[in-house]
Amino acid sequence: MRGVHEKHLEETYSKTVFGFWTYLMTDCILFGTLFATYLVLHNNTFGGPSAPELFSMPFALTETLILLTSSFTCTLSKLAAYRGDKNKVIGWFAVTFLLGLAFIAMELNEFSHLVHEGNSWRRSGFLTGFFTLVATHGLHISTGLLWMIILIIPVCRHGLTPVSLKRLTCLRMFWHFLDIVWIFIFTIVYLMGSL
């Protein structure tokens, strides 16, 4: 018969992963609200610049590719975790972390350009919606980066325990989810904005 601790671990794993899925769905609604607001406000430029004047497609495409690549490396860490290869897990997460950092750096760069040109969130309803939507995603990515640091340190010290595997699974789900949200941002804000 299985010991009470093993059974407990197994149950916790299934509850946590399902619970985390549920959390992601609520987060999805939160983004949905921001998307809806952006779409309502995106023509309200109040005499200021509109989307085609502000956004550079190659820049946004680079951001997108970086983020998509990070999702790919994140999945590679999952394969490594299946094989129990601790060093590769750490390595792929390190790559993911750097790509995420590069994405955030690009986004901050874009924001600071906009603000310097006088097109901050104070300028119009459109820019308010844009900054909030994109920065909320950026804030999630930053949280993900912080979370990677918090989770990888115990892996370095104690190896791949069942608990750390469970948490890394949640983190990967979070990361992929943010990727999907970004694809919507890319489509609705940048692609449709450049038309």
Partner 1 sequence: MLGRLRDVYQHDFIEYAAGYSMLIGALLLIGYLTYKKKWKWLWKEYITSLDPKKIGMMYLAVAMLSLVKGLVDALMMRAQQALSVGESHGYLTSDHFQQLFTAHGTTMIFFVGMGIIFALMNLIVPLQIGARDVAFPFLNAVSFYLYAVGAGLMVLSLVIGEFSAAGWVCYPPLSGLAYNPGVGVDYWIWSVQIAGIGSLLSGLNFFVTIVKMRCPGMTLMKMPIFIWSILGTLVLILFAFPILTATIGMLTLDRYLDMHFFTPDFGGNPMMYINLIWAWGHPEVYILVLPAFGVFSEIVAVFSQKRLFGYVSMVWALAAITFLSFIVWLHHFFTMGASANVNAFFGVMTMLIAVPTGVKLFNWLFTMHRGRILFTTPMLWFLGFVFIFVIGGMTGVLMSAAPADYQIHNSLFLIAHFHSTIIGGVVFAFFCGLTYWFPKIFGYKLNERLGRYAFWCWMLGFLLAFMPLYFLGLMGATRRLDHYDVTTGWQPLFIVAAAGVVLISIGVFFQVLQMIVSYRQRKENLDTTGDPWNGRTLEWSLPSPPPEYNFASIPQVHGIDAFWSMKHEKVEHKRHYEDILMPKNTPLAVLIGGFSFLMGFCLVWHIMWLAGLSLAGVIICMVIRLSEKNTEHLISAKEVQRLT
Binding site for partner 1 (CB under 8 A): 4-5, 8, 11, 14-16, 18-19, 22-23, 25-27, 29-30, 33-34, 36-37, 40-41, 44-46, 121-126, 128-129, 131-132, 150, 154, 167
Nearer to partner 1, 5 or 58 (CB): 5
Task: Provide, rounded to whole angstroms, the least separation between the CB of residue 39 and partner 1.
Answer: 10
Matching residue, tokens 């899925």: 21
Nearer to partner 1, 109 or 143 (CB): 143
Nearer to partner 1, 15 or 83 (CB): 15
Burial label for 37, CB within 10 Å (0-12, 13-18, 19+), is middle
Query: How far is CA 105 from each of CA 98, 111, 118, 150, 175, rounded to the nearest angstrom?
Result: 10, 10, 20, 20, 17
Task: Provide, rounded to whole angstroms, the least separation between the CB of residue 56 and partner 1.
Answer: 23
Query: How far is CA 102 from each of CA 23, 51, 63, 112, 167, rounded to the nearest angstrom?
Result: 26, 24, 8, 15, 24
Nearer to partner 1, 25 or 105 (CB): 25
